[in-house]
Structure 1
Amino acid sequence: MKKNLFLTAIIIIVSIGTTKANSFKNNIYQEIKKDSARLSELDKFWTELSRTVREGDFEGYQAAYHPDAVLVIKQNRSISITEALDNWKQGFIDTKLGKKNDKVEFRLSKRIGSKTTAFETGIFYFTSTDSHGNPTEDYIHFEMLLVKRNEKWYALMENQKSEATKEEWKALE
């Protein structure tokens, strides 16, 4: 009788442990699944931002930013995104007209977030070729704070921290 009681207790303990372990695994799986969906949405955000620069789509680029967004430039100055966009608008127009060729690529090193918030860090590589064929290129360490509203991601803050090197860029491949 004692032996049967002991075996029953062991079976119950193992069953409870297995149930808790499976519950834990399911919770982890759900969190990974949610994070994968968020990262996929954010990957689309970065792809779209690149497209708008490449095609000179000023309205599309502007739509990626919350109207109250802030741009921090190399930790020396912060301005409203409205002011930054005013400064960049002619570049978009010239790209759209074929007077220049602008491109931007993003590589991310850190991605933190929740269902409706994101803080992403990385390097962007911006290239521009003017109508005379003169190229310029910049590698910039950046941070971006984003928020999701009505199923769409918007940039709230872009911090262009410092210049990066080509080697740092390649290290994020």
Structure 2
Amino acid sequence: MIVFCEDCGGRNFVDPEEVKKSGKPVRCTECNDILKISIPVSSSESRTEEPLPSILELRLGDHLIEVSQTRPSATMGRQEHNDFEIIDTRVSRSHARVEYRKGQFFVIDHSTNGTYVMISGKKGVNLKRKELVLEGRGFITLGRKIAPDSPKAVHFVLK
């Protein structure tokens, strides 16, 4: 099973059976932070059917990522390790992250210059080291407010 680190976004391969047996915390292979792991319940142990998880579609040009319960985060920033690499002098190396948590999607700013979020039908918000629940559709820009048709605008749609 793949578990993404909430701290650095690193991808970790975890054996659920080993986690159940050992009972010890599992650490991220990249930053050594303790991973938060939810072991899936087998169908024989399950009493009720879970509803299908929501999906947040993120798009930058032709690059598309779906954030959901199975892939709970996506990162944005100036460096190559990010899911969305945006080259701009006002963009931090690890600028922002979109995260699925308890049935909601959050955009979390980790930057110096802030993250601008525009949700359709609402007033735009400039985040500085804060998080915001995403709804419906809109776009995210890093470091400053830019036009939605800019090649540096990350568009989102909640499905």
TM-score, normalization by structure 2: 0.31
Q: Greater share of helix residues, 1 or 2?
A: 1
Computing the radius of gyration from Cα coordinates, the structure with the larger value is: 1
